[in-house]
Structure 1
Amino acid sequence: MLPVQRNYVGVLCYNIFSSSPKFLQFFFHQHSHLRFIYSGSTRIRPFPDYSPKKPSIRDSELVYHISTTLRLRRTEPLHRILKPYESKFRPDHLIWVLMNIRSDYKLALDFYSWACLRREPTLEARCIIIQVSVASGDLETAQQLIADFWNKPNLEINSSFALFVERLIYTYKEWGSDQRVFSIFFHVLVQAKFLCEARKLFDKLSNYGVVISIDSCNLYLGRLRGGPEGHQALIKAFKDFPRVGVCWNTESYNIVIYSFCLNKRIREAHNLLVQMEELGCLPDVVSYSTLVNGYCQAGDIQSALKLLEEMQIKGLKPNSFTYNSIILFLCKNNKVVEAEKVMREMMNHGIAADNVVYTTLIDGFCKSGNISAALALFEEMQVRNIVPDFVTYTALICGFCLCGKMIEADNMFNEMEKRAFKPDEVTYTALIDGYSKAGDMKKAFSLHNEMVAFGLTPNIVTYTALADGLCKSGDMDSANELLHEMRRKGLGLNICTYNSILNGHCKAGNIALAVKLMEDMEKAGIYPDNITYTTLMDAYCKMSQMEKAHELLREMLNRGIKPTVVTFHVLINGFCSIGMLEDAEKLLNWMLRKDINPNVAIYNCLIKQYCIRNNMRATSEIYRGMQANGVIPDESTYNILIKGHCRARNMKEAWFLHQEMIGKGFHISASTYNALIRGFLKRNRVSEARKIFEETRQRAIVVDKEIYDCFVDMIYEEGNMGTILELCDEVIEKFSVDQTRTEGS
């Protein structure tokens, strides 16, 4: 009567609160003893009674003899004591004997194994021994017996599933009556990725009042998470399962939160975290860390940091995974210095940074070009006995290659091999790219051959690096051959490959070939990007064909391809180089109207040309406009302006810019010093000229020989022989060496 009463209470509660799923979940969580009561209907179906085939008199005698022999001679090998019965033994006998010896689990299992060696047991016999194993507490054997059946090759899933479920339910009541058998079966189906069948089993068992264990249900949820379809099935199961008594735990919620994050539904994941607490299921470090990682993946670092603070307030200690999500986000967004601060904060909280955290930071510093900071972290790893792996070494090799430090990259590669770390395609491709950029194509191709010899397959990135190197070295014939080889190997050429070769044609002055390659790209279904157009524009600008360059800009805009600042720099520099300053200014003003922020290089082009024209008023206007738009002058800006003001004899302005440049730590070029000294001498401001000349000597900057001659004459008239001799030594050292080099070359 009790099960019926429980069922009635469960159905009543479900009917009352079905309109409030949140309350229903809370109710079943608080009253776990009721979790099996609701099965979707008001009546639970009873398990069928087991009624096996009856043995004949002759069969009964054989079964009796086998059973007796097994009990009396149990210490002897079965193959010996059962040899007299082998010829008469049939599959039905297995079940009948098991009925006699079922109380002795080990004997029953050994006998089943003996029977299996002779003939494939029936599905009924397999289900019987599974039930016996579970009832005896040997869950591992039961799981293996089920898995052996479902791992068979060429298994017809639909029919096998229906038969297996039927036999397992049929044998349940007589042979075990332990509901764990169904959770094990469900578990095996999920592990074998038969998720549809697992769901069918769950629904069928709910009719018998059986609830699958929470661990098996969590495994099911975990297998469902993934793409949109899997996520929908997961959410459906998450909503449906509590209706038949499954009581979700923290792990369950964590799986669903992860799935929401994976499908970029971060707000829903956060709402679920809040609901957990409302339902009395407390979130743990995994819950918060998963959501922190989700926010980082979505680019919302503020929400991630707020969540990190919230979990600490609640007494949950973030782990390395929590911090690593934030560190990885910052590194990907070129905020590596901030990322290192987060690591230091993490370590201050007593959480040791592991290999993953260090490698993430090392990779971030390498990609930002700060190889010294990356090496400092690498050394710190070793001091702390944190073993770098091949990913760490590859990151450093990529960093050295990016900075053009190929000797250091080679040394790191050799150290990596000494530590028995096997380089992969990424490692080799980085080295090949580095040597290609350095113009050492012999070494680049040697590395290519080496990686092939080691069984690694060069990919499109590897070949693009080689093609780019050949183009930059002017070997267009080899680059074209490589292009054909890539096609023969079936490698899908990408935009980077085409752009590299197109750039090579442009540098070689073969614009016609570059245009044809652009047409071939489109025929192959690869459409030009802003780099393609900018490369061609640059070639036309250098040939003073501004109309064609401008036409490419119009074509680019008509195609909806957004020009970059580099594109505009190429065009403005082109206009400036042929003296079309008005057109260059018009293009600059158009950029500003379209909210495209010019960079300092664009302003430098215009400033330089106006300085050459000696139009310092226009120069000053451009300079003021540059500062008004928030563009900070760089070293080139100051050098250009100083020389321009010196040429216009505005020495007061030139002196002011010179002082400002020194204050900012910029490097003043030798030509700028020459202009300053000559400008002051022309204005008879000898003291300022001498002061700047002494500055060049202190900074070991070589100015023109005529300036040295001028100061030698000046000091000779003053009678300062010691200084004259010093200057003469400098002239001999600096200019005679340069003359020797010139003659030698």
Structure 2
Amino acid sequence: MKRTTSINIITYLQRHRFNQYHHLPLTAAHFSTTPRPFPDYSPKTPSISDSDIIRHVTTTIKRRRSEPLTRVLKPYQSRFKSNHLIWVLINIKNDYKLVLNFFNWAQKPFITLESLCIVVHLAVSSNDIETAKQLVFEFWTTPRFDVSKSFDLFTEKLIYTYKDWDSHPLVFDLYFQVLVETGFVSQAEKLFHKLLSYGVVVSVDSCNLFLSRLSCNFHGLKTAVKVFDEFPELGVCWNTVSYNIVLHCLCQLGKVKEAHNLLVQMEQRGNFPDVVSYGVVVSGYCGIGELDKVLKLVEELKRKGLKPNEYIYNNIIGLLCKSGEVVEAERVLREMSKCGVFPDNVVYTTLISGFCKAGNFPAAFKLFDEMRYKKIVPDFVTYTSVIHGICKSGKMVEARELFSEMLVKGMEPDEVTYTALIDGYCKAGEMKEAFSLHNQMVQKGRIPNVVTYTTLVDGLCKNGEVDVANELLHEMSGKGLQPNVYTYNTVVNGLCKIGNIEQAVKLMEEMDMAGFYPDTVTYTTLMDAYCKMGEMAKAHELLRFMLDKGLQPTIVTFNVLMNGFCLSGMLEDGERLIKWMLEKGITPNATTFNSLMKQYCIRNNMRATTEIYKGMRARGVMPDSNTYNILIKGHCKARNMKEAWFLYKEMVEQGFSVTATSYNALIRGFFKRKKPVEARKLFEKMRTHGLVAEKAIYDIFIDVNYEEGNWEITLELCDEAIEKCLVKET
């Protein structure tokens, strides 16, 4: 599912009308040679009999102009020839309406290339540009065997008939445009150079159309830049639209810095960049993730009195979301609205998707509601993003309701939508619903892909149904879908979860034979299984084998080993692992240190725990919520309440969530240290956050309130304890 968050620059340029034409006579300053004159037009001289027909036809159509020509010219039709058409046109060329009627009557086989060009000239001289262009367009959209020969003939006739038919240089501009629009780009360039020899320079707007057409495909981008560099020497004066097209070409070629330099040079060359110019370069920098450059460009365009448009805002929001800075992206959305630029469903969808990826589902749902409140219609991509987010948060009832709403609105879910919902059901363990949706997907003509099958396999494995998962793999292969390394890793993980490591190893061997070589994730999964079984020697052996294969272990691999050492009581080996990682330039993360600190806390060795914590901070590794919770419980157990209280306050300031076990430990610790006020404050905070205290903690505060005569609170706590502790235990 792909979505763009920006308006295509080519679309913008196509909306501009290329309708300003000019004729620049060339002088010695432009070229080294004098322009050649247009040839004189000299049609054949009619015979006496031809002259007679011409006179009669001319007189008849002039006198009886109000009558249909098919009737009045019927007596002459059998004797009429193609040359007669041109000779009559000479007689009536000053009566354009009559010219058109007569030309339409003539049709084939009387119309020749010469007569067609004559009428084109007459249409241009009568300012009927639409008809002139249509006539040329019809010629070039007719299938032809030899394009090169047709081009030479048409060009020759248009030039030959130009001089004596009261035409205008605009006719060549028009011809050039038709060639570009019909895809005969090389013929258009050939025409451009041919016209130069007659002193005619194609208008800048037509040249812009030429540049625009070239930039529609990757191969033409370099040609467009080359044309932009060369054409000024041939008399073309580029304008802002021209620069915008070439800025786009450079960005598409990955030459964003060159595009930026050209943007700077625009003013020096007498062309002032507009908001589109800045938008193109902003889009280029967004494409390569240069946020600082983007923000500087936006400030620059504001200083010049320009306002960022939807295109610019969309690109910035897209980049911020891609960089994970979703909160900042939402701030840009708010700024956008204040500036009178109203976001569309694409912008909202980008933000919603960004918040979902960041795990901030409430913010995503809020934006979705805001979208509907503002009457911005969500499309199937928006719905898919929100459904994906709801599934991630485990709210499958709401996800299914939204899916149904999508169907009611006539939106057709695609494979991605179905897979998101199937994944949600799999993670919730509702495999019956997942397969029901899979069947519905097939009935609707949506073909499940590898991701869909991998999701189902993962769900089955997590439910312990590894045999069924294997059957599904065979079904998948039977449908011509090749399982990938992620599919195999899912089954390996499932086998390890149920303790069937032998089968997991066998599947790894099958992967190798099938050409889907086990990756770091595969080895790490198996190592984790060995570590949890206490078989550290086998885990080590796997690590060596993995390194021999040239696979680089990740921080997760090392954390798995660390957890294994700690579970096996091999704390010294754990410390040596950290030392080895640092020597190899691998920075441990908070999880690496947490495993070690947790075991020292269990052993009540707070001195060693504190040393590890200090070493962690000294190396610039910031603690996570798990770090704080481990340390708080450890210090409370060791009765270091001052240290535990300090860590609690620091944790809250950092925005981390305190767990129920940490609250319980702190409350117990303060009671043991005879500090009931602090304990009571923590108990109330704990209840405010919806966390459940241990039954022993409830007993303490029930007794305290009873002794103080707080009957109402005592009864409230009794009810709460029964509901949250005793009922749940049963």
Question: For 2:162, what is the secondary structure of its paired residue?
Answer: helix
The question of 1:340 aligning with 2:327 is answered no
CA contact (8 A) 1:616 1:645 kept: yes
The question of 1:75 aligning with 2:62 is answered no
Q: Which deviates more from structure 2 when the two are superposed, residues 141-150 or residues 234-243?
A: 141-150
Question: What residue is the counterpart of 1:273 in the other structure?
Answer: 263
CA contact (8 A) 1:37 1:209 kept: no
Question: For 2:161, what is the secondary structure of its paired residue?
Answer: helix
Return the letter of the residue paired with 1:45. R
User: How far has the Cα of 1:335 moved from its partner?
Assistant: 0.9
The question of 1:233 aligning with 2:223 is answered yes
Of 278, 286, 296 in structure 1, the residue corresponding to residue 276 of structure 2 is: 286
CA contact (8 A) 1:36 1:211 kept: no
User: How far has the Cα of 1:165 moved from its partner?
Assistant: 2.1
The question of 1:253 aligning with 2:243 is answered yes
1:13-34, CA deviations, whole angstroms, 9 ceiling, x for partnerless residues? xxxxxxxxxxxxxxxxxx9966
Residues of 2 paired with 1:233 and 1:690: CA distance? Answer: 79
Return the letter of the residue paired with 2:523. Y
Cα 1:502/1:705, change in 2 over 3 Å: closer
User: How far has the Cα of 1:702 moved from its partner?
Assistant: 6.1
Q: Which deviates more from structure 2 when the two are superposed, residues 649-658 or residues 323-332?
A: 649-658
CA contact (8 A) 2:23 2:202 kept: no
Question: What residue is the counterpart of 1:297 in the other structure?
Answer: 287
Percent identity between the two aligned chains? 58
CA contact (8 A) 1:696 1:702 kept: no
Structure 2 gaps, min length 5: 1-21
User: How far has the Cα of 1:211 moved from its partner?
Assistant: 0.9
The question of 1:370 aligning with 2:357 is answered no
User: How far has the Cα of 1:519 moved from its partner?
Assistant: 5.2
Residues of 2 paired with 1:706 and 1:79: CA distance? Answer: 108
CA contact (8 A) 1:226 1:259 kept: no
Of 38, 47, 50 in structure 1, the residue corresponding to residue 41 of structure 2 is: 50
Question: What residue is the counterpart of 2:140 in the other structure?
Answer: 150
Question: What residue is the counterpart of 1:103 in the other structure?
Answer: 94
User: How far has the Cα of 1:238 moved from its partner?
Assistant: 0.8
The question of 1:114 aligning with 2:105 is answered yes
Residues of 2 paired with 1:306 and 1:631: CA distance? Answer: 32
1:156-195 aligned within 5 A: 156-195=146-185
Cα 1:660/1:106, change in 2 over 3 Å: closer
CA contact (8 A) 1:226 1:263 kept: no
Residues of 2 paired with 1:151 and 1:266: CA distance? Answer: 37
Question: For 2:620, what is the secondary structure of its paired residue?
Answer: coil
The question of 1:139 aligning with 2:129 is answered yes
User: How far has the Cα of 1:560 moved from its partner?
Assistant: 5.1
CA contact (8 A) 2:431 2:460 kept: yes
Question: For 1:687, what is the secondary structure of its paired residue?
Answer: coil
Cα 1:485/1:124, change in 2 over 3 Å: farther
User: How far has the Cα of 1:333 moved from its partner?
Assistant: 0.8
Cα 1:47/1:513, change in 2 over 3 Å: farther
Cα 1:321/1:726, change in 2 over 3 Å: closer
Q: Which has the higher contact order (CA 8 A, sep 6+)?
A: 2
Question: What residue is the counterpart of 1:687 in the other structure?
Answer: 674
CA contact (8 A) 1:565 1:599 kept: yes
The question of 1:409 aligning with 2:396 is answered no
Question: For 1:50, what is the secondary structure of its paired residue?
Answer: coil
Residues of 1 paired with 2:478 and 2:82: CA distance? Answer: 60
User: How far has the Cα of 1:115 moved from its partner?
Assistant: 3.1
**TM-score, length-scaled by structure 2:** 0.85
Residues of 2 paired with 1:482 and 1:61: CA distance? Answer: 89
Cα 1:519/1:73, change in 2 over 3 Å: farther
User: How far has the Cα of 1:332 moved from its partner?
Assistant: 1.2
Residues of 2 paired with 1:153 and 1:524: CA distance? Answer: 51
CA contact (8 A) 2:23 2:170 kept: no
Q: Which deviates more from structure 2 when the two are superposed, residues 41-50 or residues 137-146?
A: 41-50
Q: Which deviates more from structure 2 when the two are superposed, residues 43-52 or residues 298-307?
A: 43-52
The question of 1:567 aligning with 2:557 is answered yes
Question: What residue is the counterpart of 1:22 in the other structure?
Answer: none
User: How far has the Cα of 1:696 moved from its partner?
Assistant: 5.0
Cα 1:531/1:38, change in 2 over 3 Å: farther
Question: What residue is the counterpart of 2:15 in the other structure?
Answer: none
User: How far has the Cα of 1:317 moved from its partner?
Assistant: 2.2
1:102-149, CA deviations, whole angstroms, 9 ceiling, x for partnerless residues? 333233223333333x54843333333222222222221222222222
Residues of 2 paired with 1:34 and 1:54: CA distance? Answer: 33
1:469-519, CA deviations, whole angstroms, 9 ceiling, x for partnerless residues? 333333334434444444444446544444334433433444455455555
The question of 1:470 aligning with 2:460 is answered yes
1:468-507 aligned within 5 A: 468-491=458-481, 493-507=483-497
Question: What residue is the counterpart of 2:574 in the other structure?
Answer: 584
1:322-361 aligned within 5 A: 322-361=312-351
**TM-score, length-scaled by structure 1:** 0.83
Q: Which deviates more from structure 2 when the two are superposed, residues 81-90 or residues 200-209?
A: 81-90
1:395-442, CA deviations, whole angstroms, 9 ceiling, x for partnerless residues? 322322232222222333333344444434433332233223223333
Cα 1:211/1:668, change in 2 over 3 Å: closer
1:668-724, CA deviations, whole angstroms, 9 ceiling, x for partnerless residues? 65655666677789xxx47358975895588456666678889999999x9999799
Return the letter of the residue paired with 2:99. A
User: How far has the Cα of 1:201 moved from its partner?
Assistant: 1.5
CA contact (8 A) 2:85 2:115 kept: yes
Of 610, 614, 633 in structure 2, the residue corresponding to residue 620 of structure 1 is: 610
Of 211, 214, 224 in structure 2, the residue corresponding to residue 221 of structure 1 is: 211
Q: Which deviates more from structure 2 when the two are superposed, residues 270-279 or residues 651-660?
A: 651-660
The question of 1:435 aligning with 2:422 is answered no
Question: For 1:598, what is the secondary structure of its paired residue?
Answer: coil
Structure 1 gaps, min length 5: 1-30
Residues of 2 paired with 1:221 and 1:140: CA distance? Answer: 23
Cα 1:512/1:176, change in 2 over 3 Å: farther
Question: What residue is the counterpart of 2:619 in the other structure?
Answer: 629
Question: What residue is the counterpart of 1:4 in the other structure?
Answer: none
Q: Which deviates more from structure 2 when the two are superposed, residues 494-503 or residues 336-345?
A: 494-503
| RMSD across aligned positions (CA) | 3.8
Question: What residue is the counterpart of 2:233 in the other structure?
Answer: 243
User: How far has the Cα of 1:42 moved from its partner?
Assistant: 1.0
User: How far has the Cα of 1:247 moved from its partner?
Assistant: 0.8
1:279-330, CA deviations, whole angstroms, 9 ceiling, x for partnerless residues? 1111111112222222222222112211211122222222222222222211
Return the letter of the residue paired with 1:273. L
Residues of 1 paired with 2:307 and 2:26: CA distance? Answer: 33
Return the letter of the residue paired with 1:252. S
Question: For 2:273, what is the secondary structure of its paired residue?
Answer: coil
CA contact (8 A) 2:387 2:421 kept: yes
Residues of 2 paired with 1:675 and 1:128: CA distance? Answer: 98
User: How far has the Cα of 1:195 moved from its partner?
Assistant: 1.7
User: How far has the Cα of 1:196 moved from its partner?
Assistant: 1.7
Residues of 2 paired with 1:114 and 1:552: CA distance? Answer: 88
Question: For 1:173, what is the secondary structure of its paired residue?
Answer: coil
CA contact (8 A) 2:124 2:167 kept: no
1:562-606, CA deviations, whole angstroms, 9 ceiling, x for partnerless residues? 433222212211222222323322222232234433222221111
Question: What residue is the counterpart of 2:4 in the other structure?
Answer: none
Cα 1:47/1:677, change in 2 over 3 Å: closer
User: How far has the Cα of 1:220 moved from its partner?
Assistant: 0.9
Return the letter of the residue paired with 1:218. N
Residues of 2 paired with 1:706 and 1:277: CA distance? Answer: 77
